[in-house]
Structure formats: C-alpha cells, structure tokens
Chains A and B, each alone.
Chain A
C-alpha cells in the first residue's frame, strides 16, 4: 500500500489534524469503518466514540462526539462537533458527561432516545478504554 490518505480533522473551534496518513478508523452511526487511500466517495454520520489514526506504525486516538465523515477522491474530512485528543481526555470529565447522558436518555422520548442511547454507549466505551 504505497498511497497515503489525505486526512483532515476539524472541529468548530480548531483544525486538529491535517496531513497524510495510512489509515483512519471512524465510528459511524451504522457501524465503524476504516478508510484507506482511494476509498470510494462516501459520507457518513458519526456517533460518539474514538477515531483512530494509523500512520507509519503509530496510532493516535481522538475522542469524537457527533459529526460527519466525508470521503472524496481528495481524501477524508471529518467534521467533528466535539473532538479532543484521547490523551487529553480526563476520566472525571468523562464520568460527568456520562451522568449527563444518562439524564438525557431518561428525558428522551421516541426517536430521540436512539441517538441518546448511542451517545451514552459511546461514552461508556470510551471510559472503559481509558
């Protein structure tokens, strides 16, 4: 695999990453997917979870909460709502968010409860992996 994937990770506050990488694993709402160079044009919504960037044998993880992944022939762009480098995520802030998400799930009705549950699930998984 000679080609590299052009990847940029942007959130409203800042551009977190921009450059060439080998592979990016993204948590989509309908399931995780990995993107290599020359991926077919593809667009997906993102759930709460971890984005993993593989480059030259190293792995970098980012915590992401909601957003979009847009794969074009030019590369992958992730538009994140909230995105933090995994090593900067603190366990107690995450615990606080889990409590909030639990409350939101309690309050959610009908169609809204599915994304709320997904959000809570993602947070819990992140907390476990910390």
Chain B
C-alpha cells in the first residue's frame, strides 16, 4: 500500500487537475455562447446566398456559358477534401469524429478509383490524418493565431481554393466539418462546394446530368429576371463568394461545436476527478486509521509488557 505521504500528493495533484478542467469547462461555456451566436447570425447570409444561386442556376443550368465553379469542369477524377477541424485538443471526440468521417470518405473515393487531395484547416486534423494519408495532404492552415474568426480569413482560404480549381489541381471540392446541433451533438458533415450546383440540386457529378427539375425556382409571377450586369458577371463574383461563405459558416459551426464538445468533455473530467478524489481520500483515511490503530496497539502492548 502507498504511504500516507504518497496518497496526499496524489490527492493534491488530482485536485489541481480538477481545478484546471473546471476552469476550462467554464471558459468553454462562455466561448460557446459567443460562438453559437456567431454561427446563428451567419446562417441567414449563407441561406440567402444559396437561394440566390438557386435562382441563378435555374436560369443558367444547361446553358453553354455556365461557369465551371457552378457546373464543374466535366470530370470528377481528383477530389479535394477540405477538412476543417479545431486547432486544440481536449474536446472529446470532436476532432476524431471529423477525421473518421474524412477517412470513410477517402476510402470510398479511393475504392471508386479517384485521386484524393487533402486541404487541412486546423492543426489537429492534420496531426491525425498525417499518419495514414500524409502524402495526400497538400496544405495545412492553422487558425491558432486568429483570436476571432472574420469573413476575411474565410475569404483568404476560399480564394486559395478557387485559385487551385482554376489551376486545374482538382475537379470536385468537398468541405468536411462538424455541424453544430446542440452542446451534446455535433454532426460531422460533408458538403460539396465545387461544383456549386451539387449543393443545390441533385448533381450526380457527371456531365449532362443537371437534374434541373430538382432545382427550386421561385415563382416570378410570369416576369423574367433582369440582371445588372449580366448573369455571367454576377455569377463570376457570386460563386467565389459562395465558397467563402460556406467556409466561413463551416468554421463558425466548428468553433461552436468545438466549444460545446470541450464543455461536455471537461465536465466529464471534472466529475471523474471528483470521483477519484473521493476514492483516494477514503483510502487515505483508512490507512491513517490503520496506522493510528497499530500505533495504539504498540503502545498498549508495550505498557502491558511492563
């Protein structure tokens, strides 16, 4: 059995750990509220922008001049997976779940004979994917140095991805992140960003299959849409922005999810530490009692021997 001194140090260290996890839980709870607010505030914009693209693609689908960002470049051999994870660990299964989803996607894509490239946003995801798919990771971006997420950060990432698409480095781009539902539940989600029409209608990824009947068109009451400047001009600006917006909202959802997950994980550890402290204290008291008893016996038997 461990000595009293050893037990005492252990109890003390567990107590310290509990203090830390408790503080982390409270910090996460405070950040969660902010992150959740931000995620919710960004939703109207991303909803509207996809609605606008739906409108536009309804009139553009099938036409020759449709931009490649909208309908794809005709092939789907090279897939770019943009994996957005957190930059910090200690948040339960949050990162692992995203990485697992990514692995499943990679396995199924490779089974179909596609080439996979990975763009990591967040250093934890890179760390976990590096072991198996290190050769596929083409870039890693860490957002650690940014205190708050702004549209500008997402715009930078989006611009990079758009430039890569224009340089023909990939054909299809998918974004993997965690959709925030509530503190307990975050759902790892895969979203197709390029071609954009995949987001809206059911797009099989093959040429000529636009499934335009799936595209929802608003009731214009017989009037025709007017564009200023023309459709191409608007789409040219709108589509890259749509990518930025999707990345931005994915990052916001991720932050909210990370904080929720961290809060739950830290709550669990605080509780586990509490249990451990109780157990250790019990053992400590017992062995102290045993020591006192044995000392008493020694004294009494010593007295009797006289």
Chain B hits for A41, CB < 8 A: 220, 223-226
A73 contact from B219, B226, B241, Cβ within 8 A = B219
Chain B hits for A79, CB < 8 A: 45, 48-49, 52
B44 contact from A8, A28, A42, Cβ within 8 A = A8
Interchain CA distance A42-B225 in the complex, whole Å: 5
Chain B, range 18-59, C-beta contacts under 8 Å to A:
38, 41-42, 44-46, 48-49, 51-52, 55-56
In the complex, the number of residue pairs spanning A and B with C-beta atoms less than 8 Å apart equals: 83
Chain A facing B: main interface SS: strand
Q: Known interface pairs A72-B218, A73-B221. Does A13 touch B228 (Cβ–Cβ under 8 Å)?
A: no
Size category, A interface: 20 to 34
B65-73, B78-86, B232-240 - interface stretch: B232-240
Count of interface residues, chain B, beta-carbon cutoff 8 Å: 34
**Which residues does A use to contact B, with CB under 8 Å?**
8, 10-15, 18, 28-30, 40-45, 68, 70, 72-74, 77, 79, 81-82
**Which residues does B use to contact A, with CB under 8 Å?**
38, 41-42, 44-46, 48-49, 51-52, 55-56, 150-151, 154, 218-221, 223-229, 233-234, 237-238, 241, 244-245, 248
- 19 A-B pairs in the complex with CB atoms less than 8 angstroms apart: A12-B45, A12-B154, A30-B228, A41-B220, A41-B225, A41-B226, A42-B227, A43-B228, A44-B227, A45-B233, A68-B237, A70-B48, A72-B55, A73-B220, A73-B221, A73-B223, A79-B45, A79-B48, A79-B52
